[in-house]
Amino acid sequence: MKQEKSITKVATDSTIQEGRSTAIIAYITLIGLIIAFVQNDEKKNAFANYHIRQSLGLIFTGIALFIVGLIPLLGWLISILGTIAVIILWIMGLMNAVNGKQQPIPLLGNLYNKWLANI
C-alpha cells in the first residue's frame, strides 16, 4: 500500500518565528491576505505559506456561502449558520498563527491544504 506524501512541510522554530507576522497578516481581511501572499512570495516561508492557504480557503468558503445565501429561505439559513461557523474557524486559524502552531482548521483545513497545494 502506497503512503500518501504530506502536502505541508512541518515548520521549524526558526521558520515559525520568521513567518509568524506574515501568517497573522494573512487572516486580517482580503487586503491582508494579498499583502501576505506578495510578502511570502519573496521569502517562501513554509509556516506563512501554510496559513495563507488556510486563510484563502476560508475566503473561498465565505464566497460560496454568499452565493448560497442568494437562495431564498433555506439558502439564507445555511448562509447564516455557515457564516457563524466560518467566523469561528477564522478565529481558530488566527489563534494558531499567533501561537505558532501549524495545525489545520477543523473540518476543512486538510481539504484546503489539498486543494491549494500549489500556492
CB 27 within 8 A of CB 94: yes
Q: Which three cell numbers stand for residue 30?
A: 482580503
Of the candidates 116, 115, 61, the one whose C-alpha atom is nearest the C-alpha of residue 88 is 61
> Which residue type, as a one-letter code, is found at position 34?
I
Sort 32 into a burial class: Cβ within 10 Å, 0-12 / 13-18 / 19+. Answer: middle
8 or 21, higher pLDDT? 21
- The pTM (predicted TM-score) of the whole model is 0.79
Say what the pLDDT of residue 91 is: 94
Q: What is the DSSP string of 75-98?
A: HHHHHHHHHHHHHHHHHHHHHHHH
